[in-house]
Amino acid sequence: MTLRLVIDVNLSPDWVPVLTKAGFGAVHWTQIGDPSAPDREIMDWAIANGHVVFSQP
């Protein structure tokens, strides 16, 4: 089973190939939804789609 990550908009999309190469399933939020979406929308999407949110404070 592969850990699937959604990269938050506060991080660069450059993380996607780095994490994919390391064996993770990774997608940047801008590939999925509105870049100005509230955190709750991103978290709800992650829960509904079996992803962990990769973010920073």
Residue 11 burial (CB < 10 Å; 0-12/13-18/19+)? Answer: middle
CA distances from 12 to 1, 17, 33, 35, 48 (A): 25, 11, 15, 12, 23
What is the pTM assigned to this prediction?
A: 0.91
Confidence at residue 1, expressed as pLDDT on a 0 to 100 scale: 80
Report pLDDT digits (tens) over 1-57: 889 999 999 999 999 999 999 999 999 999 999 999 999 999 999 999 999 999 998
